[in-house]
A = this chain, B = another copy of it.
Amino acid sequence: MSKSSVNHVNDFTLKVATVNGTGSASANSLLMKSIFRMGVPVMGKNYFPSNIQGLPTWYEIRVTDPGHLTRSGDVHFMVAMNAETFAKDHAEVTPGGYLLYDSTWPRNRDLNRDDIHIIGVPLAEMVNQHFVEPRTRILMKNVAYVGALAGLLDLDLAVIEQLLKETFGERKAKLVKPNMEAVRIGYDYVLEHYDCPLPVRVERADMTRGHVVVDGNTTAALGAMLAGATVGAWYPITPSTSVMDAFSAFCGKYRKTEEGEREYVILQAEDELAAIGMVMGAGWMGARAFTATSGPGISLMNEFLSFGYYTETPAVIFDIQRVGPSTGMPTRTQQSDLMECAYAGHGDTRHICLYPADPAEAFDFSIRCFDLAEHFQTPVFLVSDLDIGMNEWMVPELKWDESYRPDRGKVLSAESLESLSGPFRRYMDPDKDGVPFRTLPGVHPAGAFFTRGSGHSKHGTYTEDAAEYQEVMDRKARKFLTAASHVPAPVIEYCNSTEVGGKKRVRPVRYGFLTVGSGDLAVREARHNLKEKGMEFDYCRVRAFPFTREVEDFIAEHEIVFVVEQNRDGQLKGMLLAELEPEAGKLVSILHYNGLPLASMHVESEVVDHLRKAEAS
């Protein structure tokens, strides 16, 4: 073979192309998890179709440094199990890379690149010989390619077996054996026919200790449970559905009395308008309540979000973003609800938003959302996305802060109401932070007042008076200013920073990257690669709206700030411009919005392009 070979130990991307509904999802998960168990950092991303059975689906695994568990843009190893997408998959392999296919059937002669290595394994043939039942045959073909990959990439069969045991548990223990047989079928075949392991392979290491593999919908739900949310209302929508599934499972286990009584209520609403209404009702009553949805759901919630803002009712909304507009691509990722969430509703409305970058932060921010919602008596968004929410990420273990106490905000107790001298006034500003006191229904007659989305005075009474109306609106604006110093500050990293006498001193370079949410790792990897090419960038990841002082300073300090986000219209950039009024021309958009997670390669090339053009002109 004259062609070159990709030669990356513990540093490559593998992609599996299959058809959905065939059981490949669990095979792929097994593959990823076994690499993780071998102590090697790994990322797994699932690109699945919006149907139940029979359409193309891909799973992308990247093995690399812990800091770059993101799409690079390369594919070094393709497992091409889907005839329909074979041509495209075949074309996608990086030169020198590998392609494994099921050689039971002949493949199209035109599809035969000579710059990659093609590995045929007669999976169907072998599996069909070994298994009889049709459904089993379909499932086992997937397990067999895991076996083949184990041979080629040098995965540990003992690890695979252990994982199978854990998956099936005691109840289905007898399934382990046939699965291991299928693994062996693939494994033995490649060992016999190919030079195993390949130059691209996995080598045991110790780089995953203290980490877990988990998706961000699960961690957000876990956060909600531990933050003490007791009412969850939702309407099923991809990719948010697993939030409520996980919440339900956690509560079922940890939130029942000994008699099996539930200390929570989960309401499957008739639609998203009802879901947010239920959350508002529960929040008004004083419970911690939340909903999970995606773009179309947020659109439907607009009217109630405006109500929540104006009546100052706590509510937590998890928006797991997917590709818009409209139904868009429900199983693909995007960050295109940034503006919708921040300003949802008619009239002068604005909402606190937190932007997690990965499942670990989704856990932390989920808890923060409940605290902020009650502290500021307003709807608060956790703006996540499909990539964070549904893909399995390797992240540092979640930690519990023992000092955590829920911040229930300014709620008057029966005792304080008892000793109130005058009538209770709902919308005052006693502490000059814009945050009024509230009372809960049923607690004390002195706390009674009428919550209304129509004009109200600071006393909480109905008004159509110009000055009374404005007074309340102005206080709310002040409240939002206060919020800016309570939300998570951005993560900022400078290329040049020194510690002098315990104080950090920084010297900003010319250029900065600014990103949000799941853009994190791809931008970091791009930054790292660019540095190797001699180009330095400082880094800022915005973690909340309203934007904090630090974001403003970061922009001010740099000549150009590349704003990297996953939507077409540069929504984050637009918000930064509108809210912070930075110098003209300073913010430069790097956009990515085709539904796949951001790849570091894309960021890198866009920046290089921009700077080259700027130099040339």
Query: Per a CB cutoff under 8 Å, which of B340, B474, B578 touches A574?
Result: B578
Chain B residues with Cβ below 8 Å from A568 are 348, 473-474, 477
Q: Number of contact residues on A: which range applies?
A: 35 or more
Chain B residues with Cβ below 8 Å from A349 are 324-325
Query: Per a CB cutoff under 8 Å, which of B325, B454, B474 touches A346?
Result: B325
Chain B residues with Cβ below 8 Å from A295 are 306, 346-347
A570-591: CB near B (< 8 Å → 1, else 0) gives 0101110111011111010000
**CB-contacts of A274-317 with B (<8 A):** 295-296, 298-300, 302-303, 305-307, 309-311
Chain B residues with Cβ below 8 Å from A340 are 302, 343, 345-347
**CB-contacts of A326-366 with B (<8 A):** 326-332, 334, 336-337, 339-340, 343, 345-350
CB of A199 closer than 8 Å to a CB of B: no
Residue of B nearest to A329 (CB): B455
Q: Contact at B470–A348, with CB atoms within 8 Å?
A: no
Query: Per a CB cutoff under 8 Å, which of B50, B329, B454, B577 touches A329?
Result: B454
Chain B residues with Cβ below 8 Å from A332 are 455, 464, 466, 469
Best-surrounded residue of A55, A307, A329, A579 (most CB of chain B within 10 A): A329
Q: Contact at A346–B336, with CB atoms within 8 Å?
A: yes
Give A477 to B577 CA distance when docked, in angstroms.
20
Give A395 to B577 CA distance when docked, in angstroms.
38
Residue of B nearest to A272 (CB): B303
Q: How far is the CB of A266 from chain B (nearest CB, A)?
A: 24
Residue of B nearest to A319 (CB): B346
Give A544 to B383 CA distance when docked, in angstroms.
31
Q: Contact at A346–B350, with CB atoms within 8 Å?
A: no
A437-470: CB near B (< 8 Å → 1, else 0) gives 0000000000000001111000000001011011
Q: Contact at A569–B464, with CB atoms within 8 Å?
A: no
Query: Per a CB cutoff under 8 Å, which of B343, B577, B596 touches A577?
Result: B577
Q: How far is the CB of A276 from chain B (nearest CB, A)?
A: 12
Give A584 to B587 CA distance when docked, in angstroms.
12
Contacts beyond the supplied A307-B327, A324-B345, A329-B454: 5 A-B pairs with Cβ under 8 Å: A306-B324, A324-B347, A326-B454, A336-B346, A577-B581
Residues of A in contact with B (beta carbons under 8 Å apart): 49-50, 55, 295-296, 298-300, 302-303, 305-307, 309-311, 323-332, 334, 336-337, 339-340, 343, 345-350, 452-455, 464, 466-467, 469-470, 473-474, 477, 567-569, 571, 573-575, 577-579, 581-585, 587, 593-596
